[in-house]
Amino acid sequence: MAIWWDKHMPTSGKTPLVFLASVLLNAAQAAVKLAAFIIVGSLALYAETLHSVGDVVNSFILYLASYIIVNKKPSPKYPFGFGRFPYIASIISISILVGAIANNILTQAYEALHEGGRLYGDVISGAYLLAIATFMDVGILLFIFMARDAWRNPSSKMRPLFMALILEDLFSFSGNAIALASLYMIGITSIADVIASIVIVAIIIMASAYVIYKNIEILIGRSAPRDVMLKVLNRISRISDVVDIDDLKSYVLTPDNIVIMATIGVDPRKSIDALEAL
């Protein structure tokens, strides 16, 4: 006995706009941080600029995923829909992008350590620009909060995407805070700037590793949540002709599509037609 469990949670056609707004705000952040880097010449600001570029790509993939969930339905040719495509695209793009960013920044940091010092520009202006970029992160969180009806339910198919966006934004906050601290410390020692850039690289790698891990977990397939399994078990047990439930297995195709297989025992006196009616 196989059961197709589809979580029919309400999703608004406007939900993808939250992710589109995130793409635009992250792009604006990257531009502002680039301006700050040009003014100051800080390696930490350079790292944060590339961090925001990575966030633009990740936000776009989340936007694509949300659009597919809302608009693309399963078809005879693609019975499971396109729900897994964004996870595959995310793994490929993050692996390439993060590898390039980390290599670039670490190379710059190595060279800076051996230069014995750097010349910095207007640190105050750079700090103001970085503060503006941080307020853009606040704007993204406000958009997420306004769309809370689409993701606050644990069973919402949009929840994994919003959780990824929230995580991305929190890591961006962390990177901004470290870059601001490095600007403050530049006047004391230029080594602080190099250390800050390396810490930002570590943040980028940790965030990316977590996202890739969650994506791989979905692609490999895990069992359904306990509450879903209990609902199915209760539903089967209420069928009067079922006398025993030998086995119950599940497989999560995507966060909103779950296949559940049950091995059940029935009254042997039942006819084939009666069993098919179950």
Q: What is the pLDDT of residues 101-116, one digit of tens each?
A: 899 999 988 888 887 6
* Angle subtended by helix axes 43-71 and 85-115, to nearest 10: 180
- Average pLDDT of the chain, as a whole number: 81
Q: What is the 3-state secondary structure (H, E, C) of 166-178?
A: HHHHHHHHHHHHH
For the chain, list the strands marked E by DSSP.
Answer: 2-6, 242-254, 257-266
Q: Which residue do the tokens 């700090």 mark?
A: 127
Residue with tokens 């992250």: 26
Q: How far is CA 86 from CA 121, 254, 261, in A?
A: 41, 11, 26
CATH domain 11-220 topology: Alpha-lytic protease prodomain-like (1.20.1510)
Q: What is d(CA 210, CA 136) in angstroms, rounded to the nearest whole number?
A: 23
| Confidence (pLDDT) at 136 | 94
Residue-wise pLDDT for 52-62, tens only, equals 998 998 899 88
Question: What gap in Å lies between CA 212 and CA 91, rounded to an integer?
Answer: 6
pLDDT of the residue at 70 = 67
Q: What is the pLDDT of residues 232-278, one digit of tens each?
A: 888 877 777 777 777 777 777 666 667 888 887 776 766 666 666 65
pLDDT (tens digit, 9 = 90+) per residue, 185-231?
Answer: 887 777 888 999 999 999 989 988 888 888 887 777 777 777 778 88
